[in-house]
């Protein structure tokens, strides 16, 4: 128990340390006396927020959909090398392209039914609440805020997200008792919500299960993780610790050989920072060894990117990779790898 308490304390210190402002000061000419100055300075000093060329921040100006995507992508350190999502009005090369792609990859945005994203349009408070809630990994709630004067104005699709942020202590509406869910959100308001949501330091547990269709199964997990823990790096010691269990549980050497190859590549990559050659070798390993893997939702998406973090996974969802044993031409054994992440109470 003492070790667990110490582990939690250490993680909280590290996590809270990441929220402290950087040493370099950032000053905007129009923030003196503004109620959001501390929130804005916190994120500006971390490089998440930018002002305008004239030195202003314009805190009471409505924030655009593209600007929200950029702020969330940078605040949660999402990989910006994704190019697989297409919106009719988001062209490669424009400043917000990588941030919108990142948010789409992690299912924080999906665009409009006509295929557009409307990056330069202002965003409503309800839309912003949903995006922040999804980025923070907070599960929707069923109760809360019913006493607010304009609660009935919250769109049905947004109520669970509003209630989640309310329960987390992130939002409570305006002093006059209104939420104004259909009103556009300002730059300052978005930053305050982000600050409070990001300070909700969560501790995670992670489980991996490997089983076949012959009722053989090996499962293990680890706890007290922070959200920036990388999926493959968390998997690595679990797979190493269970190597003998794999050998005992599965009749074919295919699974053991498959994992041994991946373990060797991952160990080398994390040891020295993943060179271009090591990344290419890892991608080749995934492309070749898991070419026929199926599963919905797919675990391959998180395994293939060595920088994927557990806070980008949906909580309590089993991500799956299924494939057949090909050792010595066998096609009668099917393996299922399931990885699951949960927020600890």
pLDDT of 222-261, one tens digit each?
886 767 788 999 999 999 898 888 888 887 778 888 889 9
**Residues 340, 305: Cα–Cα separation, whole Å:** 17
Q: Which of 191, 185, 170 is nearest to 36 (CA)?
A: 191
**Residues 339, 312: Cα–Cα separation, whole Å:** 13
pLDDT of 47-103, one tens digit each?
888 889 999 999 999 999 999 999 999 988 888 988 888 899 999 999 999 999 999
CA atoms within 13 A on the CB side of 255: 29
Quote the percentage of the chain above a pLDDT of 70: 89
Of 67-71, 208-212, 326-330, which range is least confident? Answer: 326-330
292 compared with 17, residue with greater pLDDT: 292
* Token output for 21: 């402002």
pLDDT at 200: 58
Contact indicator for 75, 194 with CB cutoff of 8 Å: yes
pLDDT of 264-293, one tens digit each?
999 999 888 899 999 999 999 999 988 888
Place of tokens 């655009």: 64
Please tell me whether residue 19 adopts helix, strand or coil conformation: coil
pLDDT band at 304 (very low <50, low <70, confident <90, very high): very high
Mean pLDDT along residues 25-43:
86
Q: Which of 108, 118, 123, 125 is nearest to 63 (CA)?
A: 123
pLDDT at 227: 73
pLDDT at 172: 81
User: 159 pLDDT exceeds 60?
Assistant: yes
pLDDT at 225: 78
pLDDT at 20: 36
Mean pLDDT along residues 130-159:
89
Mean pLDDT along residues 308-334:
83
pLDDT at 223: 82
User: 201 pLDDT exceeds 60?
Assistant: no
H helices of the chain, where?
Answer: 2-17, 37-45, 65-75, 97-105, 125-136, 156-167, 187-198, 231-241, 243-249, 254-272, 276-289, 300-304
Q: Which of 188, 171, 65, 216 is nearest to 127 (CA)?
A: 65
Flag whether the pTM goes above 0.85.
no
Direct distance between the N- and C-terminal alpha carbons of the chain, in angstroms, rounded to an integer: 15
pLDDT band at 14 (very low <50, low <70, confident <90, very high): very low
pLDDT at 13: 33
* Token output for 14: 């590290």
Residue 184: beta bridge partners? Answer: 124
Please tell me whether residue 319 adopts helix, strand or coil conformation: strand
Contact indicator for 123, 143 with CB cutoff of 8 Å: no
Alpha-carbon distance values, 302 to 35, 70, 286, 340 (Å)? 40, 21, 11, 11
User: 23 pLDDT exceeds 90?
Assistant: no
Place of tokens 């609660």: 151
pLDDT band at 330 (very low <50, low <70, confident <90, very high): low
pLDDT at 6: 28
Phi/psi of residue 24, nearest 5 degrees: -75, 130
pLDDT band at 314 (very low <50, low <70, confident <90, very high): confident
Which DSSP string corresponds to 20-45? SPPSS----TT-TT-TTHHHHHHHHH
pLDDT band at 17 (very low <50, low <70, confident <90, very high): very low
């Amino acid at each position: 128990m003492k070790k667990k308490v110490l582990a939690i304390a250490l993680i909280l210190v590290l996590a809270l340390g990441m929220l402290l402002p950087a040493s370099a000061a950032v000053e905007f000419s129009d923030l003196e006396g503004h109620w959001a100055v501390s929130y804005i300075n916190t994120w500006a000093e971390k490089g998440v927020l930018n002002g305008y060329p004239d030195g202003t921040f314009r805190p009471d100006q409505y924030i655009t959909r593209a600007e929200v995507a950029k702020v969330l992508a940078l605040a949660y350190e999402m990989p910006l090398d994704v190019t697989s999502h297409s919106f009719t009005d988001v062209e490669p090369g424009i400043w917000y392209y990588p941030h919108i792609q990142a948010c789409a990859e992690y299912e924080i945005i999906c665009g409009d039914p006509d295929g557009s994203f409307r990056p330069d349009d202002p965003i409503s408070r309800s839309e912003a609440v949903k995006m922040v809630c999804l980025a923070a990994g907070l599960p929707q709630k069923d109760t809360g805020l019913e006493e607010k004067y304009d609660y009935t104005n919250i769109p049905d699709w947004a109520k669970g997200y509003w209630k989640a942020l309310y329960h987390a202590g992130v939002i409570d509406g305006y002093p006059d008792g209104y939420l104004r869910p259909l009103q556009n959100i300002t730059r300052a308001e978005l930053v305050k919500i982000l600050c409070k949501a990001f300070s909700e330091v969560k501790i995670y547990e992670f489980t991996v299960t490997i089983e076949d269709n012959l009722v053989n199964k090996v499962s293990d997990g680890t706890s007290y993780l922070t959200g920036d823990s990388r999926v493959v790096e968390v998997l690595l010691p679990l797979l190493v610790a269970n190597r003998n269990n794999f050998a005992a549980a599965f009749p074919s050497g295919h699974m053991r050989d498959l994992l041994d190859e991946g373990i060797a590549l991952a160990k080398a990559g994390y040891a020295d920072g993943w060179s271009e050659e090591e990344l290419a070798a890892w991608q080749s390993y995934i492309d070749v060894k898991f070419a026929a893997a199926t599963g919905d939702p797919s675990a391959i998406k998180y395994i293939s990117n060595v920088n994927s973090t557990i806070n980008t996974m949906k909580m309590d969802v089993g991500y799956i990779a299924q494939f057949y044993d090909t050792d010595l031409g066998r096609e009668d054994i099917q393996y299922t790898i399931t990885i699951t992440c949960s927020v600890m109470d």
